[in-house]
């Protein structure tokens, strides 16, 4: 189990886990719940340069389309093939197997803490 209190969070309902010089990025349980059953993800390929605050992918549910924002500047080193093959992992394990991309970043971010994010979504 991922320790959600050790993750950082964005106002776009994404989480970021720092592993050395790389950030693992996914969407929160709150975002997954709001989307409903995820049926398709469109993720940037390894090697793609991303800029903080820009849309880099899509997370599509039966009812709606969510955008994946890059929370930091950097370069995509891996997109989660397991999620591309089985998008339902975003719902079943959003903080674990449902991670979306890994971004190598020169400067790792300081975002919301778990407590701050919970307050942000009003929980």
Partner 1 sequence: MSDSGTTPEERRSPLDAVHRAAGASFTDFAGWQMPVRYSSDLAEHRAVREHAGLFDLSHMAEISLIGPDSAAALDSALAGKLSAIAVGQAKYSLLLAEDGGIIDDLVVYRTGEDRFLVVANASNREVVAAELVARASGFETFVSDESDDIALVALQGPDARAVLLETPGFGVEGPGNDQEDFDLAIAELKYYRSFPATFEGEPVLVARTGYTGEDGFELYLAPEQAPKLWAALAETGGPRVVPCGLASRDTLRLEAGMPLYGHELGRGILPVQAGLGRVVSLAKEGDFVGRAAIERGPADGAPVLVGLTAEGRRAPRAGYEVYDGASADARRIGEITSGALSPTLGHPIAMAFVAPELAEPGTVLHVDVRGTRIPATVVALPFYTRAA
CA distance to 14, 36, 37, 54, 66, per residue, from 63 (Å): 20, 7, 8, 23, 10
Does the protein bind partner 1 through residue 107 (CB under 8 A)?
no
**Dihedral of CA 41/60/67/96: which sign?**
negative
Does the protein bind partner 1 through residue 82 (CB under 8 A)?
no
Which of 65, 82, 115, 119 binds partner 1 (CB under 8 A)? It is 65
Does the protein bind partner 1 through residue 40 (CB under 8 A)?
yes
Q: Any idea of the CA torsion for 32, 61, 14, 30, to the nearest 10 degrees?
A: -20
Query: What string marks each residue from 2 to 21 as x (binds partner 1 by CB under 8 A) or -?
Result: --------------------
| Interface positions with partner 1 (CB under 8 A) | 33, 36-37, 39-40, 42, 58, 60-63, 65, 88, 91
């Amino acid at each position: 189990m991922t320790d959600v209190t050790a993750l950082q969070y964005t106002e776009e309902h994404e989480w970021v886990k720092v592993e050395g010089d790389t950030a693992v990025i996914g969407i929160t349980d709150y975002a997954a719940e709001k989307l409903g059953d995820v049926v398709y993800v469109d993720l940037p390929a390894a090697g793609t340069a991303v800029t903080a605050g820009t849309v880099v992918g899509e997370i599509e549910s039966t009812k709606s389309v969510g955008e994946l924002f890059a929370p930091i500047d950097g370069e995509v080193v891996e997109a989660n093939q397991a999620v591309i093959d089985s998008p339902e992992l975003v719902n079943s394990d959003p903080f674990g197997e449902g991670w979306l991309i890994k971004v190598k970043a020169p400067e790792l971010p300081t975002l919301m803490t778990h407590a701050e994010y919970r307050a942000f979504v009003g929980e």
